[in-house]
Amino acid sequence: MPRAKQPTPVGTLTIVGLGPGAWEDVTLAAQLALEAAPRIICRTLRHPTVQALRERRPDLAVTSFDELYEQAAAWQGLYEEMAAQLVAAATTGDVVYAVPGHPLIGEASVRAVRALAAARDLPVRIVAGLSFIEPICAALGIDPVADGMQIIDATELADLLPQQVAGRVTTSRPALIAQVYNRRMASATKLALLEVFPPEWPVTLVRAAGLPEEQVRNVPLSAIDHDDFADHLTSLYVPPIPADSLQSLRTPEALRYVVARLRAPNGCPWDREQTHASLTPYVLEEAAEVADAIEEFADDPLHLAEELGDLLLQVYLHAEIAQEEDAFTLGDVLEAITSKLIRRHPHVFGDVTVAGAAQVVANWEVIKQAERAAEGDQPPFESRLKRIARHTAALAATHDTQRRAVKAGFDWPTLDDWVGKLDEEAHELLAAQTPAARADELGDLLFTIVALARRLDVDAELALRAANQKFRRRFQHMERLAHARGQVFEDLTRAEQLALWHEAKAAEA
């Protein structure tokens, strides 16, 4: 279907900065543009300069987007709608769009307008103004450049998903949040910032900066929406959290600092002694505990969050040790996995089309082989079994080993063949005469059981895990029964213990 033809611009769009509030602060170029404008649309009429403009242009009806702010059910798309209306207006003649402060500083609406205007070949002229930053910095006595201050639009902040906030707001640098124009926006801003700042963190609300009615209020972050202080001239200053204050607990940088501090010369003796090798058991242990927490997620979701944190700690510890050894950094870890995901998902980040999940897996293997060949990591011959991780859990490794062998055509043809093999291995185990021989034959028997499970389309790992859980439930029930009856479990006869077992089993029926 052909795209609809866009209206041909017949006018121009001039974006003028109104300054922080006083007409005396409006630049000469901006005053001239406003006094000569045939049509003026303000982002908001709730700005002191607008009244002064009306007094100088009583002949002109000045309109605004205030109604759009009030009616918007969500912040998303607000500025895009403004941009669409402005560009449409410019197709009928010259328009001046007047915004508080400087058009290019903290004005998300201007970014949206310029992007759409460029797509429509509409000329846009920018007339500078004194920004809201200067009077706020004067009121607070801060240097935004020296401090590396972040400038953030509150409406954009409110639009972020919780998991996106840490990527937008850096807690180690001060932030100035503009457009906190009412209590509702203050609430949305607070909720976003609480993703990375503690509720009690001291912040400053600045209203009407640079004007006679200027007000500065210091409050905890959690209290910025407790009344109607926030208005159309209000911004929020959030000071940085020093890393050594240990008050930043919700960001990747906070964990990096803590791990580095533990490994530092005056850190923790135990952590300083650890190596990649010594931490290996803990990686496996934490991964197993994550798996347990996944199974218990419905009963205790936050337990999974805790265990994922423990596993993440292992990643940060290994990255910190590697950095100390000049081997690699955490940035290398992040780059490796991010670039791999992009490369191996061309159907998401490229132009490849897939029919379903099976094709995704097939493509993944092809791409992986191509990567190895490009890196010179593809020898003339490589066993199908080479790249099974040595520390993989034994059942999972057995399943993967057999799966690869079967793909090469090496398998017993029928289920009965595997049942016969199971019987053969059981007899060989019983016939073994030495501990080494018994261990060897038991390994063969377990290997055969996994193969039998595969032929039955049963996940041996999950089946054995379920059996473990079933035994634990019943055994714990036996212990509770004995305790309730004043019995010492260890002193019970085998017959008494078996009776308890049957009771526990019957309780599950």
Structure confidence at residue 406 (pLDDT): 86
Q: Average pLDDT in the 429-440 region? A: 95
Q: Is the per-residue pLDDT at 214 higher than 90? A: yes
Sequence length of the chain is 509
Read off the pLDDT of residues 63-89 as tens digits, 9 standing for 90 and up. 999 988 877 777 678 889 999 999 999
Structure confidence at residue 380 (pLDDT): 62
Structure confidence at residue 399 (pLDDT): 86
> CA-CA distance, 394 to 411, in Å (whole number)?
20
- N-terminal to C-terminal alpha carbon distance within the chain: 63
Q: Average pLDDT in the 248-269 region? A: 94
Structure confidence at residue 370 (pLDDT): 87
Structure confidence at residue 4 (pLDDT): 55
CA dihedral 196, 198, 199, 203 (to 10 degrees): -80
Confidence of residue 168 (pLDDT cuts 50, 70, 90): very high
Going from the C-alpha of 174 to that of each of 203, 237, 240, 247, 260, the distances in angstroms are 10, 7, 5, 15, 23
HEC assignment per residue over 293-356 = HHHCCCCCHHHHHHHHHHHHHHHHHHHHHHHHCCCCCHHHHHHHHHHHHHHCCHHHHCCCCCCC
Q: Average pLDDT in the 440-448 region? A: 94
Read off the pLDDT of residues 96-115 as tens digits, 9 standing for 90 and up. 999 999 999 988 899 999 99
Task: Choose among 267, 254, 361, 359: nearest CA to 321.
Answer: 267
Q: Is the per-residue pLDDT at 1 higher than 60? A: no
61 burial via Cβ count (<10 Å: 0-12, 13-18, 19+): exposed
Confidence of residue 134 (pLDDT cuts 50, 70, 90): very high
Look-up: residue for tokens 């197993």?
288
> CA-CA distance, 490 to 182, in Å (whole number)?
69
Structure confidence at residue 377 (pLDDT): 63
> CA-CA distance, 507 to 96, in Å (whole number)?
79
Between 72-81, 209-218, 381-390, the lowest mean confidence (pLDDT) is in: 381-390
Q: Is the per-residue pLDDT at 9 higher than 80? A: no
Going from the C-alpha of 225 to that of each of 152, 176, 204, 256, the distances in angstroms are 18, 17, 12, 32
Bigger pLDDT: 387 vs 323: 323
Q: Is the per-residue pLDDT at 3 higher than 80? A: no
Instruction: With beta carbons less than 8 A apart as the criterion, state whether 463 and 469 touch.
Output: no
Structure confidence at residue 378 (pLDDT): 62
Q: Is the per-residue pLDDT at 432 higher than 60? A: yes
Average of per-residue pLDDT values in the chain = 91
Confidence of residue 375 (pLDDT cuts 50, 70, 90): confident
Q: Is the per-residue pLDDT at 445 higher than 90? A: yes
Confidence of residue 428 (pLDDT cuts 50, 70, 90): very high
Q: Which residues pair with 99 in a beta bridge?
A: 17
Pairing relation of β-strands 124-127 and 234-238?
unpaired
Q: Average pLDDT in the 350-373 region? A: 90
Measured CA angle at 302 (ends 297, 307), to 5 deg: 85
Structure confidence at residue 232 (pLDDT): 87
Residues ≥6 apart with Cβ < 8 Å to 300: 293
Structure confidence at residue 394 (pLDDT): 84
Q: What percent of the chain has pLDDT over 70?
A: 96
Q: Is the per-residue pLDDT at 262 higher than 60? A: yes
Read off the pLDDT of residues 300-309 as tens digits, 9 standing for 90 and up. 999 999 999 9
Instruction: With beta carbons less than 8 A apart as the criterion, state whether 230 and 208 touch.
Output: no
303: which 2 tokens?
């337990």
pTM of this structure: 0.70
Confidence of residue 5 (pLDDT cuts 50, 70, 90): low
Look-up: residue for tokens 């401090």?
147
